[in-house]
Structures are given as C-alpha cells and as structure tokens.
C-alpha cells in the first residue's frame, strides 16, 4: 500500500461524507489504501454520494453502529440535527467551533479527538493538528495519525487550547496565500498590468515559489536572510513590508481567528 502498511481492518465512518472536507478525506483514505472500500461508511441526507465504491447511508446512528471509529464533518449549523449516541467508540471531529465538552454532551462520546484540517485536503496538501482526550487509546491515536496523513501531514498536539489556536493558523488554509495573491494582483493592475498576466504572475509567486519552503531543511528565516543579503529589490520588499506592519497584521489576524473560534465554541455549547 502507498503508506507502506496493509489496510486497516477497522471500519471508518464519516458523517457528512459528501461535504467537501469529508469527501476529500474519504477519497484520500481510499487512494492511499489505508481503508478498504467496504470498510468505509459515509452518510448524508440522501444516502448516496460521489464516492460510489464506499458504503452509503442516510442513517447516522446506523453508521455509528457499523463503524469502529466515527468522523464528524458537518456544517456547524447542521450539528443540532445530528442525533447520535457514540458511546465508547472514538469520535473524531473535523469541525471548528465545537469543543470537547460539547461534543461529549451532544453525542454521548467518551473518547474524542478534535482536529483542524483545511481546504488543502482536496489536493492532498493539508496540515492537520489533532488533540485526543486521555480516554483515546494508543491504537486509536495511531489510526487517527495514519488517516489524516492520507491528505498531507498531521501532528498530535498536547492540549485542546492549541486546537483553538490552530483554527486560524491551519484552518484558514488557502486564505493566507489567497489574501497575499489578491493584494499583489490589485497592485499590479493599478500599475497597468493586464489582469490575466497579473493573476498568472501572482499565482506563480505565491503557489509556485512557496514550494521552496517544502524543500528538506528549508527554514523561512534562512530564506528571508539569504534573499535580503543580496541588498537588491527583494531586500527592499522584505524590509518595507516589515516596517509597514506585515508581521503585526498576520499576528492580529491569527489572534482574531482564535478569538472567533472560542466565541463559536461558547455559542455552540449554549445552543446544544
């Protein structure tokens, strides 16, 4: 198999399996050979969806009863309508804004994992931090790590507080490069650059050149120092962006995202 191991014998269920995130991970599990099609159960309101090789159901409780581990991937506003009793099976939430205590109370789960993936799961480039309660076994943790590695990279973090922080850090996903690309495109167009050319150039810079960060041993600080060392146009850009508050703007955005994550958790807890 692609991850160097035989497929798991555990049955994996995804509530919300036709949503963009649930479907992305379902496809990743199958593509990497980690879960066999007959052991992948997906649910939605129609009881059918875009991954025909998997098993589909419209009954979320039937999914819970037929699986060994349950992934919850629904929109926040739909959570009140998900009536399940999970019990001793691991419940893995892919949702922002729902804390462990609320998940336990709403689903009856006693073993909970909170994760914070992002839209890059659809292209196999997602980073997923995850936190597990003490009741989650070592075998279950190993499976969680293996499942999320199907769509990129994953790390266990030591506290639920860090998942709230990562809601903005990793959960925003494509928001960061899109924000930068939009600003670059707008500036180029204001200088008379053809919009199509500006977009191609920005995409190449943001999505292409950023791959240097993924090179073995690469570090952002080292790359910045090396480029600035030439004392040319790149140095002028880096120094001016810093002086104009680039780092502060990023930090403020991260802080706002974390605060919103905590606010959503509080609102959801009161609503359920």
pLDDT score of 83: 96
Would you state the pLDDT for residue 262? 93
> What's the mean pLDDT in 131-143?
98
* 18 appears as a binding residue in the annotation: yes
Known binding residue 173? Answer is no
21 labeled binding residue: yes
Q: Is 124 annotated as a binding residue?
A: no
Q: How confident is the model at residue 209 (pLDDT cuts 50, 70, 90)?
A: confident
40 annotated binding-site participant: no
Average pLDDT for the chain: 95
Kindly report the CA angle at 22 between 128 and 90, in degrees rounded to 5?
Answer: 70
Q: Domain segments of the chain: what residues?
A: 12-162, 174-252
In degrees and rounded to multiples of 5, residue 41 shows phi and psi of -110, 125
Q: Would you say 208 is a known binding-site residue?
A: no
pLDDT at residue 1 above 80?
no
Indicate if the pLDDT at residue 2 is higher than 80: no
The pLDDT tens digits for 151-185 are 999 999 999 999 999 998 998 888 899 999 999 99
Q: Classify domain 174-252 by CATH architecture.
A: Orthogonal Bundle (1.10)
- In the chain, % of residues over pLDDT 90: 88
Q: Is the pLDDT of residue 206 over 80?
A: yes
56 has binding-site annotation: no
Q: CB–CB of 3/150 below 8 Å?
A: yes
Global pTM?
Answer: 0.91
Edge-to-edge strand list for the sheet holding 126-132: 55-57, 40-43, 12-15, 69-72, 90-93, 111-115, 126-132, 152-156
Please give the CATH architecture assigned to the domain spanning 12-162: 3-Layer(aba) Sandwich (3.40)
Closest by CA position to 14, among listed 81, 91, 79, 89: 91
Return the structure tokens found at 4: 């160097």
Determine the pLDDT at residue 222. Answer: 92
180 assigned binding-site residue: no
Tens-place pLDDT, residues 57-103: 999 999 999 999 999 999 999 999 999 999 999 999 999 989 999 99
């Amino acid at each position: 198999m692609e991850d160097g191991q035989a497929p798991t014998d555990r049955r994996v269920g995804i509530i919300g399996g036709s949503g963009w995130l649930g479907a992305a991970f379902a496809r990743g599990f199958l593509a990497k050979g980690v879960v066999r099609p007959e052991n992948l159960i997906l649910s939605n309101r129609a009881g059918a969806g875009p991954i025909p090789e998997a098993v589909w159901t419209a009954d979320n409780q039937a999914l819970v009863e037929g699986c060994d581990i349950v992934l919850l991937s629904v929109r926040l506003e739909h959570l009140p309508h998900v009536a399940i009793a999970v019990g001793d099976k691991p419940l893995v939430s892919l949702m922002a804004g729902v804390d462990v205590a609320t998940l336990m109370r709403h689903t009856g789960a006693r073993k909970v994992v909170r994760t914070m993936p992002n839209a890059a799961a659809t292209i196999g480039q997602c980073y997923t931090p995850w936190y597990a309660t003490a009741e989650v076994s070592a075998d279950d943790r190993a499976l969680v790590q293996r499942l999320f590695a199907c769509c990129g990279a994953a790390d266990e973090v030591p506290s639920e507080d860090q998942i709230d922080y990562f809601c903005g850090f990793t959960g925003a996903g494509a928001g960061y490069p899109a924000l930068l690309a939009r600003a670059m495109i707008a500036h180029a167009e204001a200088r008379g650059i053809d919009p199509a050319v500006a977009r191609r150039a920005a995409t190449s810079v943001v999505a292409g050149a950023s791959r240097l960060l993924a090179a073995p041993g690469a570090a952002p600080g080292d790359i910045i120092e090396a480029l600035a060392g030439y004392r040319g146009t790149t140095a002028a850009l880096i120094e001016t962006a810093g002086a104009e508050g680039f780092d502060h703007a990023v930090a403020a955005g991260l802080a706002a995202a974390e605060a919103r994550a905590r606010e959503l958790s509080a609102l959801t807890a009161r609503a359920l």
